[in-house]
Amino acid sequence: RSTLSSSSAASDVYKRQLKNKALFKESCFVGGKWIDSDSGEKIKVDNPANNEIIGEVPKCSTSETTKAIEEAQDAFPNWRDKTAKERSIILQKWARLIEQNVDDLARIMTLEQGKPLAEAKGEILMGVTYIDFYAEEGKRVYGDIIPDPMPDRRIVVIKQPVGVVGAITPWNFPSTMITRKCAPALAVGCTVVIKPASQTPYSALALGVLAKEAGFPDGVINIITGSAASIGKELTENPIVKKISFTGSTEVGKVLLQQSATTVKKVSMELGGHAPFVVFDDADLDEAVTGAMQSKFRNSGQTCICANRIFVHEKVYDEFLNKFIAEVNKIKVGNGLEEGIVSGPLIDQPSLMKVMDQVKDAVNQGAKIAVGGDVHSLGGNFFQPTVLSDVTNKAKITYEETFGPVAPLYKFSSDEEVIKMANDTPYGLASYFYSRDIGRIWRVAEALEYGMVGVNTGLTTKAEIPFGGVKESGLGREGSKYGLDDYLNIKYISMAGI
Ligand code: NAP
DSSP state of 83: -
- The pLDDT > 70 percentage for the chain reads 99
- Alpha-carbon torsion (127, 131, 133, 137), positive or negative: positive
Check: CB of residue 442 under 8 Å from CB of residue 345: no
CA of 196 to the centre of ligand 1 (A): 9
From the alpha carbon of 403, which atom of ligand 1 is closest? 31
Active site residue 304: yes
Confidence label for 1 from pLDDT (cuts 50, 70 and 90): very low
Mean predicted lDDT score pLDDT of the chain: 97
- Give the single-character DSSP code of 19: S
Q: Which of 333, 352, 354 is nearest to 344 (CA)?
A: 333
Report whether 387 contacts 324 (CB < 8 A): yes
What is the pLDDT at residue 11? 86
Nearest CA to ligand 1 atom 12: 228
User: What confidence tier does 6 reach under pLDDT thresholds 50, 70, 90?
Assistant: low
HEC string of 414-459 equals: CHHHHHHHHHCCCCCCEEEEECCCHHHHHHHHHHCCCCEEEECCCC
The number of beta carbons lying within 10 Å of the beta carbon of residue 350 is 10
Looking at the predicted structure, is the pLDDT value of residue 3 above 70? Answer: no
Residue 478 designated active-site: no
Task: State the CB neighbour count (10 A cutoff) for residue 390.
Answer: 15
| Strand (E) or helix (H) holding 10 | helix 7-16
pLDDT tens-digit series, residues 51-106: 999 999 999 999 999 999 999 999 999 999 999 999 999 999 999 999 999 999 99
E-strand ranges in 32-138 read 33-35, 42-46, 53-58
Residue nearest to atom 30 of ligand 1 (CA): 248
Instruction: Catalytic residue, from 270, 401, 472, 478: name it.
Output: 270
Are 172 and 302 in contact by the 8 Å Cβ rule? The answer is: yes
Q: Is the pLDDT of residue 5 over 70?
A: no
* Cα gap 420→397, rounded to integer Å: 17
d(CA 481, CA 459): 20
Query: Considering only CA atoms, which of 281, 311, 284 is closest in space to residue 440?
Result: 281
Distance from the CA of 171 to the center of ligand 1, in angstroms?
A: 7
Helices then strands, each counted (H, E), the chain: 15, 20
- Beta-carbon contacts of 376 under 8 Å, excluding residues fewer than 6 positions away, are 333, 382, 383, 384
pLDDT at 420 over 80: yes
d(CA 184, ligand 1 centre) in Å = 20
What does each C-alpha distance from 245 to 268, 375, 382, 397 come to in angstroms?
Answer: 5, 35, 31, 28
Predicted local confidence at residue 13, as pLDDT = 87
Q: At what angle do helices 201-214 and 176-187 cross, to 10 degrees?
A: 30
- Confidence (pLDDT) at 243: 98
Using only C-alpha atoms, the chain has a radius of gyration, in whole angstroms, of 23
Pocket of ligand 1 from Cβ distances under 6 Å: 168-173, 195, 197-199, 228-229, 232, 247-249, 252, 255-256, 270-273, 304, 401, 429, 469, 474
pLDDT at 126 over 50: yes
Identify the pLDDT of residue 8: 77
CA of 493 from ligand 1 middle (Å) equals: 39
Cα(325) to ligand 1 centroid in Å equals 32
For ligand 1, atom 41, name the residue with the nearest CA: 270
CB neighbours (10 Å) of residue 491? 11
Instruction: Determine which residue's CA is closest to atom 22 belonging to ligand 1.
Output: 228
Mean pLDDT of 358-386: 98
* Model pLDDT, residue 2: 40
Question: What is the C-alpha to C-alpha distance for residues 478 and 179, in angstroms, rounded to an integer?
Answer: 10
Predicted confidence band at 4 (pLDDT cuts at 50, 70, 90)? very low
Rounded mean pLDDT, 258-263:
98
The Cβ of residue 330 has, within 10 Å, a number of other Cβ atoms equal to: 9
304, 306, 401, 478: the catalytic one is 304
CA 462 – CA 51 distance, rounded (Å):
32
Residue 10's pLDDT band, with cuts at 50, 70 and 90, is: confident
Task: Kindly report, residue by residue over 394-417, the tens digit of the pLDDT.
Answer: 999 999 999 999 999 999 999 999
